Structure 1
Amino acid sequence: MRFVIIMLSSSLATPVALKADIWNYVGFEDLPSSSQSIRDGIKESAVLAMIGTVMRRDGTLQSVGVPTIIGRPGKRPRVYPLVAFPDRETGESVLRSARHRETAVRSLLFLAESYDGLHLDFEHLGGEDLEYLEMLLLELYPEMTARKKTLSLAVLPGNFPSSQREFHDLSRIGPLADEFVLMTYDYHRPSTEPGPVTDVHLAESAIQLAMKHVRADKIWLGVPTYGYAWEIQTGRYRTLHKKSFQEFLKCRSGTVHRHRSQMLVARCPGGAVENRKAEIAFFPDEHLVREMKLLAKRYHLRGTAHWRLYSRN
């Protein structure tokens, strides 16, 4: 198990523009001590969700490199470990077994003792497993509340395909957690045709659907800080972060404009001189992030949750 310790100052930096709460997802590799931008990102955060804990098929937990954040006395981010199923088979094994659910609840409560709460990022499953998720939450949530720990869930929006969204039906699980991160990404992904990872208009629709079942102040609007580039002929893709997108823009004869989603869309015609394939890329720049913050503010949401901190550097 790998750890990194970063000492935080006694108070956070001046609030960011719009004075919106910021939630940052952070993994071990996101925390090079030499990066001022990383340290600033931590200081701006109201919540840090620490990536690196997975659940085994029997409901026990495994750490794969969770960073440790230690704050000095005074205001500091709330820190939640993110717990995920590594695959669909694991989720089914845990949720469909009463014995494994009981083990999972014990494991999660033990983990929560060292943090301000928990963040469950349970994905890969369909609507047929929703009732089992409810059973787990009905056991876990009252125990978390009794311990004065926050329980948060990452959920897919109501305007995603039914095969993905039904497991996160907020009409059923809305009362069973304190906070929800609305993952308004990936509307387009490696398995789809090229297109924007997120879309301000689709995000607004997702908020409206979520607020039918959950109060606005329990919702964090998920914001991606990454994009994808697809090869035009083959459909092969690669993930882009800020630096790699800047490299993409160096393409000769390339074009870039603002897509209706509010993401940037860039095209590279390729060519033998550069030894590059023709590609199209969609990327969320600071304009898109600001539009999402404005959207969260307009609907009085808790704030914006950014996946993830390293992607902005």
Structure 2
Amino acid sequence: MVKYTVIRATATTIFGLVIGILLGLAYQLMPLFVTNNQYISPLSQFQTSEYQVIGFLPYWLVDSATTDYSPYLTTLAYFGVTVGSDGKIVKMNNEREANLGWHLLATGKLDGLLSKAKAKGETLSLVAFNGVNDSIGELINDPVVHARNLLDEVVPVMKQYGFKDLNLDIESTTEASQEARLHFTQFVAEVKRGLDAQKAGTLTIDVSPIVLVKNYLIDVKAIAPYVDTVVFMTYDYHYQGSYVTGPVAPLGGGGTISEFDTIQAIHEAETILPIEKIVMGIPLYGYEWETIGNTARSAVIPGTGIVATNKRVEELLKTCTTCSVRQEPEAKERYLIYEDEDTGSYHQIFYPEKEGLEAKVSFASHEHLSGVALWALGYEGHDILKPIQTYRK
């Protein structure tokens, strides 16, 4: 009887401990809640690895990117080298003109910058870009051979300069045939095989969210086994050539004020890819348009769209006494409007700033994505990157 009592007491104690643990977990797993427009998830305390923060540095902004990015970035992605239609690196644009992205790298003008980044613990990524539809078509006509051509040239460059990741940025802007999509997947698979065989590094690919809803060249589901990271370029929902003004990188509002938004894109991506492969792109720029009307979604005067960097907007707001700053709450994006005294028309600028970026990284954290990517270093003003420090902790 005593033995039975002891066993029963022990079992009761163990049962109580198990219930306590389960209740504790249930508390931690309560639905997310929102405070001050921030997406908060109790699961964030279980994050065991550091989020990726990729900063893209285009060759034309090397002299402008003077910030010490080490508190913000895990990866510095140099943009980069151009991939030709045969898969080889384009070193000369023509007989007299060197390709500047290649030239800066090959002549050692980036050595100091790359060395400093490595010394501060940043991983180096080399972006290989092609954005010409006809050239891309030729590139994938013979996918395996052209992938090997790329590997033959890019792997020695990666090893020479210390790049540990190859970022494929192949931006086709039209819908593609099933054959073309298959050929591109074969190209990616061969690049990945070669990188692994030569122990050259990881493979990242950049895609527009449009590939999630239309049959563009990149079949995300098909390439998923061959890539380590997919950067979704969740911006340019409104762009330089848009007919009406609107948010450039709307966080929300899809289906109401916009056709599509960042949250919808990421949620769609999560049905295809594991979250540890998903990186959400965030722009450090917006666009300025000239319009007749002084409200959002006003018609744009053709040919007036220009890039408006966060840095430029910060400077403008210091002196613009007639600027009216407004907010699209669903998009989490600000815009300003001012009248052109010379023409009587209006200028509208939709632009990123610190609070908008904070909402985006909070969403990325809530979704437990692999990380975020910033386009582009050199566009930032004095405080927009501050939320990134909190995000990394």
Corresponding residue number in structure 1 for 2:219: 169
Corresponding residue number in structure 2 for 1:61: 89
- Flag the 1:60–1:74 CA change in 2: closer, same or farther, 3 A: closer
Residue range with higher mean Cα deviation, 69-78 or 283-292: 69-78
Shift of 1:65: 2.9
Q: Which has the larger radius of gyration?
A: 2
Shift of 1:33: 8.9
Shift of 1:123: 0.3
In 2, the alpha carbon distance for the partners of 1:207 and 1:34 equals 29
In 2, the alpha carbon distance for the partners of 1:291 and 1:222 equals 13
- Flag the 1:225–1:151 CA change in 2: closer, same or farther, 3 A: same
Corresponding residue number in structure 2 for 1:186: 236
Matched, 1:47 2:117: no
Corresponding residue number in structure 2 for 1:214: 273
Shift of 1:247: 4.5
CA contact (8 A) 1:159 1:205 kept: no
Q: Letter of the 2:191 partner, please give it.
A: L
Q: Letter of the 1:120 partner, please give it.
A: L
- What is the RMSD of the two structures over their aligned residues, measured on CA atoms? 2.5
Matched, 1:118 2:163: no
In 2, the alpha carbon distance for the partners of 1:45 and 1:33 equals 17
Q: Letter of the 2:54 partner, please give it.
A: W
Shift of 1:89: 1.6
Shift of 1:28: 3.7
In 1, the alpha carbon distance for the partners of 2:131 and 2:211 equals 24
**Greater strand proportion:** 1
Select 2:340's aligned residue among 250, 270, 281: 270
Corresponding residue number in structure 2 for 1:104: 150
Corresponding residue number in structure 1 for 2:186: 135
- TM-score, with structure 1 as normaliser: 0.83
Residue range with higher mean Cα deviation, 61-70 or 280-289: 61-70
Q: Secondary structure at the match of 1:167?
A: coil
Q: Letter of the 1:287 partner, please give it.
A: E
Residues 249-278 of structure 1: CA distance to partner in whole angstroms, max 9, x if unpaired?
A: 444433111113111111112223xx6741
Q: Secondary structure at the match of 1:65?
A: helix
- Flag the 1:285–1:30 CA change in 2: closer, same or farther, 3 A: same
Aligned-pair identity in percent equals 20
Q: Secondary structure at the match of 2:378?
A: helix
In 1, the alpha carbon distance for the partners of 2:172 and 2:119 equals 39
Count matched residues. Answer: 288
Residue range with higher mean Cα deviation, 85-94 or 299-308: 85-94
Shift of 1:22: 1.6
Shift of 1:90: 1.5
- Flag the 1:127–1:247 CA change in 2: closer, same or farther, 3 A: same
- Flag the 1:160–1:278 CA change in 2: closer, same or farther, 3 A: farther
Corresponding residue number in structure 1 for 2:286: 227
Shift of 1:248: 4.2
CA contact (8 A) 1:228 1:240 kept: yes
Q: Secondary structure at the match of 1:310?
A: coil
Q: Secondary structure at the match of 1:89?
A: helix
Q: Letter of the 1:122 partner, please give it.
A: I
Shift of 1:281: 1.0
Corresponding residue number in structure 2 for 1:253: 322
- TM-score, with structure 2 as normaliser: 0.67
